[in-house]
Copies of this chain bind each other. A is one copy, B any other.
Amino acid sequence: MNLIKQEDAGLDSRLNAVVLKIKKLGYSLTPQRFEIIKIISESKSHPSAIEVYNKLKKSYPMVSLNTVYKNLSMLSSLHEVREIKTLQNSVHYDGDTSPHGHAICEKCGKITDVKISEFDFKGFFETRIKKQLTESFHVRNYGVEFYGLCGHCFDLTGASAQD
């Protein structure tokens, strides 16, 4: 119960933060845009543009896919949404912009979040990698991706498919 409340609070504050940023920058907050932000914030499944579109159509049947694309790329350029490139040829979106990892199944394409505490990653980053980068590259965000087989696909094919 406590957990659920905390999660909801987290979502609401994320939603609010994005809404505020948009207003602050002078963009308008259309109902479609708001709903898109909401869908992305609430979703845990890293949806693609089409998936967002399909959800959005439930509230706005006349909405166009174009609108979804425009809003997602706007949110992405504001760094309020993270793009994930999967093995399928489409971009998936992640409303959680804090540093964390993804486990991506090479068979079914499923994306699972991997928690990497800021503490852990910063430690690794600061001690090992930063010195290589700072002179020439200015990091805004980072991601760790694991490629392999999810439990389900492993059970089906993993046992026999040894390199």
Chain A interface residues toward B at CB < 8 A: 79, 83-87, 89, 91, 101, 103, 105-106, 112, 114-116, 120, 124, 128-129, 132-133, 135-151, 154, 158, 163
Contact = CB atoms under 8 A, between A and B. Distances in A.
A160 B132 CA distance: 24
A83 B163 CA distance: 18
Given A85-B85, A114-B133, A120-B128, A106 B140 contact: yes
Contacts of A138: 148-151, 154, 158
Contact of A129 (B83, B114, B129, B140): B114
Contact of A146 (B101, B103, B133, B151): B133
17 contacts: A79-B163, A89-B91, A114-B132, A114-B133, A116-B129, A120-B128, A133-B146, A135-B151, A136-B150, A136-B151, A137-B148, A137-B150, A137-B151, A138-B150, A140-B148, A141-B147, A144-B145
